[in-house]
Amino acid sequence: MRVAAPPPRLTRRVNDKIWFGERVTEVLGRGALPPAYTAFSFSALVRRILALARRHASVAVKLPDSAGSVGNFVLESADLVRQTPRLLRDRLHEMLAEAGWRGDFPLQAIGWEQPVLASPSVQLWIPTGEHGLPVVEGVFDQFLRGTTAAFTGAAPSELPARWQQRLAQEAVRLGLLFQTLGYFGRCSFDAILIGQGTDGWQLHWVECNGRWGGVSIPMTLANRLVGNWRRRPFVVVDRRGLRALPRGLDSVLAQMNSELFVPGTHPTGVVVLSPGRLEAGSGFEIMVLGQTGAGARAQADRTAASLEGQGAANETR
């Protein structure tokens, strides 16, 4: 049986933050990464965290095989330096156990860099070697929320052209390595830009998503709907963890009727993604296609506020 996907072992590797960091160092140099260290025991983890806490306002512990922000645990350095190594060890153990950690090492200790000016994501398609080089299908700005930088949406990047070009070039170099190792299919690389003033920005790569995700799925859907997503720039809004009464999808769509995207009839508007969240009252995920990026973002803000308001109203009934 032939499967249109990368080999399972390689997929696990590219999604591992520690392994990815090692490859970034090999291809782009150590300066292309945030300050991060690998710990193979709790004693080593505590030492690394305390050392980082002396240089950074916040420190994070990362589960290397977790998706996005799910495995990020951010700690304030001012609190850490007041704790003894034993107390810190106990606190970390309790925190990780509550999150479902099963005692596997290694773990990653990382300096949580600030200020973050942007969190770009480069979307690639990596073909087999005989079909050409990795293809950059788009550079997007991710919207993040909270201390753990949880994903809440994305839009086409508004970074200066030279930074988008640099992101694309470095992503292709990483993608070419993955292609040489046998990777095939959808892949994206997430980064952060830190610093002040465009001349002082620093680009640090933070993780690889060797899978379909919250940007690549809507992007590919937009291509199917309009031929090329650049014809109708889109914005993704992702809300999770909301508490509202369950709602029927038909009633939600009826309320949004004039705002919905309709191929051939209404060329801009809202596309509902993950309808199960709306029906369960746990949140929503939408894509808004617009004539311009600014227009799509404005409508996305209005629709998100409306959906959140409807959920709050239902919750109080």
Condensed to tens digits (0 to 9), the pLDDT of residues 28-61 reads 999 999 999 999 999 999 999 999 999 999 999 9
**Bridge partners, 140 (sequence order):** 121, 156
Q: What is the pLDDT of residue 68?
A: 62
Tell whether the model's pLDDT for residue 149 goes beyond 70: yes
The answer on 297 and 271 residing in a single domain is yes
158 and 28 in a common domain: yes
Q: 90 and 134, same structural domain?
A: no
CATH number, position 65: 3.30.1490.20
Same domain? For 134 and 175 the reply is: yes
pLDDT (average), residues 244-250? 86
Percent of the chain with pLDDT over 70: 96
Q: Are residue 69 and residue 28 in the same domain, yes or no?
A: no
Q: Which of 146, 179, 211 is the last residue of a domain?
A: 211
Q: What is the mean pLDDT of residues 14-38?
A: 96
CATH of the domain at 170: 3.30.470.20
Over residues 239-250, mean pLDDT: 85
Give pLDDT, residue 261. 96
- Residues 100 and 124 occupy one common structural domain: no
**What's this model's pTM, rounded to 2 decimal places?**
0.91
| pLDDT of 311 | 53
User: Are 55 and 24 within one domain?
Assistant: no
Q: What is the mean pLDDT of residues 259-275?
A: 93
For residues 265 and 290, membership in a common domain is answered with: yes
Number of separate domains in the chain: 3
Asked if residue 119 and residue 10 are part of one domain, the reply reads yes
Question: Which of 211, 246, 266 is the last residue in one of the domains?
Answer: 211
Same domain, residue pair 313 and 222: yes
pLDDT for 166 equals 97
- Is residue 116 scored above 60 in pLDDT? yes
Give residue-wise pLDDT tens across range 190-232. 999 998 776 789 999 999 999 999 999 999 999 999 999 999 9
Residue with more model confidence, 115 or 159: 159
Task: Tell whether the model's pLDDT for residue 13 goes beyond 50.
Answer: yes
CB 75 within 8 A of CB 60: yes
Do 134 and 231 fall into the same domain? no
Residues 272 and 200 in one domain: no
Q: What's residue 310's pLDDT? A: 66
The residue range of the domain holding 58 is: 35-111
